[in-house]
Amino acid sequence: MTDGLDGLPQPEFEGTIDSDDLHTDGDNPNEMSDEQFGLLQDRMRQNGWLGGPIITDTDGLIADGEHRWRAAQEIGLDEVPVRQYDIDDAERRLWRQELNKIHGEHDSKRDALEYDYLLDAGKADEVHELTQAADEDLDELLAEIKMDTSKPAQYEYDPEHNVYFEDCVEGMRERLEDGEVDLFITDPPYALDGEGIGVVGGDGTVGVSNAADLTEYDDFEANEGDFDFRESWSVMCDKGGKYIVFGGNYFTDILPPTNAWIVWDKRAGSGSWFSDCEFAWTNLGISATVYDYEWQGMLREGDEQRFHPTQKPVELIGQFIKEYTNPGDLICDPFMGSGTTAVAAIQNDRDYVGFEVDAENYRDVIERRIGEAKRAKDATVNNE
C-alpha cells in the first residue's frame, strides 16, 4: 500500500507545453457532437482549463484529452497542461480505451435530480445548453422524477434527518414529549431463526410457515426469541396513542387484546418463499383489513432495493400513513431498520422520527434513502 502520490508510478514530464507540439493518430473512437464540442469551448473560455492534464506518450501523441486539446486550439490557447509517460503505442491505445470506458454511465434519474437542483439554483440557461448539446429532453427527464417518487434515484445521502442510532427506549424518553406521536408504525425484532416464520391462522392460532435461510443476517441470529418488547411498548404508550405493530402475534402477552388486524397479503408475488401474509396489531378502530401489495421480489437475493430481510414496501407503509394520519402529523418507528417508514413519511408530507440500534449495518442505507426521498420530493414540488 502506498503512502501517497509519490509512491505511485510517475510521468516522465508534467507541466505545460506548446499545444502545437501535441498530435493524434486520428483513430480515437470517442466522438463529440458539434454541439458538445462548442459547449466545451464556451465553458473553457468562461471558466479556464477544465479537467485534468492531457495524457500523452513522450512524443506528444495523445492517449486521453484529445477534445480538450482541440478546444484549446480553437480558442487560441498557446499552452496546455500535460502528463507524458514512457509508453509504447500499444500501451497508449490501451490507456485511451480504458480512460474512455471507466468514467461510468449516467443514471437518468440522478441526472434529472441534478438538473432540477441546478434549475432551482438559477442555472437554467446553462442546463438548457448542456441538455441540448447532449441531445437530452429535459422535460422528459424532469417528468420522470416527478411521476415516480416510489423509486428515487441513487444520490448522495442527506445527513440531516430525524433518525437516531441509539436504543429506542432511552431515545424516545429523551427526545419525545408524552402524547407527541400521532402514529407508531414499526416492525420489532422477533423470533426468526431461518427455519420458520410465525403466522396467524384463520382460527387465531399461531403456526409456522416455511422460510428461506436468513441466518446470514446477524441481527436475526441475535434475536432468536430473546428480544423483550415490554419496555419499548411501555414508552410507546406514553409517547402516543395510535399504533401499527408488525409481528404483533409474537407479543400477545404484551399488547392489549384486539380483534383489529392489518394483513399484508403478499400472494401477488406469485409463490413467494416467505409466508403468504404478514400481520400487524393495531388500535385504529378497524376490523381486520387486508392490504394487497405485491411483494415485488424485494427480499430476493441480488435485488438492488433489498436492504433488510424483513423490509416492507414503501407503498404499503405510505398507504397506512395516508389513511390513518394527516399532513404534518408525526410518525415514529422505534425499530427503523432500513428506513422505509421515514421514506414513506417524507413522500406523504408527514414528520418522522426513528431509532435504530444497528448503526453499523443500516446507518448508511437509512441516510442515503432519506436523502434520495427528500431530493425526489423537492423535485416533485419544484416541477408542479
Residue 208 has pLDDT above 50, yes or no: no
Residue 93 has pLDDT above 70, yes or no: yes
**Residue 45 vs residue 219, higher pLDDT:** 45
Containing 352, the helix (H) or strand (E) segment is: strand 351-355
Question: Rounded to the nearest 10 degrees, what angle do helices 108-120 and 124-133 cross at?
Answer: 150
**How does residue 384 score in pLDDT terms, banded at 50, 70 and 90?**
low
Q: Which residues pair with 354 in a beta bridge?
A: 163, 333
Residue 180 has pLDDT above 80, yes or no: yes
Beta strand 13-18 with 79-85 is antiparallel
Residue 206 has pLDDT above 80, yes or no: no
Q: How far apart are CA 208 and CA 26, in angstroms?
A: 69
Residue-by-residue DSSP string for 255-318 = SPP-S-EEEEE-GGGSS-SS-SEEEEEE-SS---EEEE---TTTTSTT-TT--STTPPPHHHHH
**How does residue 5 score in pLDDT terms, banded at 50, 70 and 90?**
confident
Q: How far apart are CA 287 and CA 266, in angstroms?
A: 19
- State CA 355 to chain mean position distance: 19
Output the pTM of the full model.
Answer: 0.53
**How does residue 377 score in pLDDT terms, banded at 50, 70 and 90?**
confident
DSSP class of 151: S
What pLDDT score was predicted for residue 27?
75
Please compute the mean of the pLDDT values over residues 94-103 and round it to a whole number: 76
Please compute the mean of the pLDDT values over residues 87-98 and round it to a whole number: 85
What pLDDT score was predicted for residue 261?
82
Q: How many CB atoms lie within 10 A of CB 5?
A: 7
Interval 16-63: pLDDT, tens: 999 999 998 877 777 788 888 888 888 899 889 988 899 999 999 999
What pLDDT score was predicted for residue 196?
36
What pLDDT score was predicted for residue 145?
65
3-state secondary structure of 92: helix
**How does residue 207 score in pLDDT terms, banded at 50, 70 and 90?**
very low
Residue 319 has pLDDT above 90, yes or no: yes
- The class of domain 8-101 in CATH terms is alpha beta
Q: How far apart are CA 346 and CA 147, in angstroms?
A: 15
Residue 15 has pLDDT above 90, yes or no: yes
Please compute the mean of the pLDDT values over residues 9-21 and round it to a whole number: 92
Mean pLDDT check: name the lowest of 51-65, 83-97, 173-187, 297-311.
297-311
| Residue 209 near residue 341, CB atoms below 8 Å | no
The CATH T-level fold of domain 163-382 is Rossmann fold (3.40.50)
Q: Which of 357-363's residues contact partners 24+ apart within 8 Å by CB, and which partners?
A: 357/165, 357/166, 357/167, 357/168, 358/219, 359/165, 361/218, 361/219, 362/307, 362/308, 362/336, 362/337, 362/338, 363/165
Interval 229-267: pLDDT, tens: 889 999 999 999 899 999 877 777 788 887 778 888 776
What pLDDT score was predicted for residue 215?
31
Q: How far apart are CA 103 and CA 88, in angstroms?
A: 23
Burial class (CB in 10 A: 0-12, 13-18, 19+), 213: exposed
**Residue 150 vs residue 98, higher pLDDT:** 98
Q: Which residue has the cell 473560455?
A: 45
Q: Which residue has the cell 414499526?
A: 186
3-state secondary structure of 13: strand
Please compute the mean of the pLDDT values over residues 307-333 and round it to a whole number: 89
What pLDDT score was predicted for residue 163?
94
Residue 330 has pLDDT above 90, yes or no: yes
**Residue 227 vs residue 159, higher pLDDT:** 227
User: Dihedral sign, CA of 340, 346, 352, 356?
Assistant: positive
What pLDDT score was predicted for residue 227?
65
Residue partners of 121: CB distance under 8 A and separation at least 6? none
What pLDDT score was predicted for residue 191?
53
**Residue 108 vs residue 267, higher pLDDT:** 108
* Domain boundaries of the chain, sorted by first residue: 8-101, 108-147, 163-382
Interval 110-155: pLDDT, tens: 777 777 777 777 777 787 888 887 788 877 777 766 644 444 444 3
Angle at 358 between CA 277 and CA 255, to 5 degrees: 45
Residue 354 has pLDDT above 70, yes or no: yes
Return the top range by mean pLDDT from 49-63, 92-106, 277-291: 49-63
Residue 213 has pLDDT above 60, yes or no: no
Q: How far apart are CA 85 and CA 106, in angstroms?
A: 30
Please compute the mean of the pLDDT values over residues 359-367 and round it to a whole number: 87
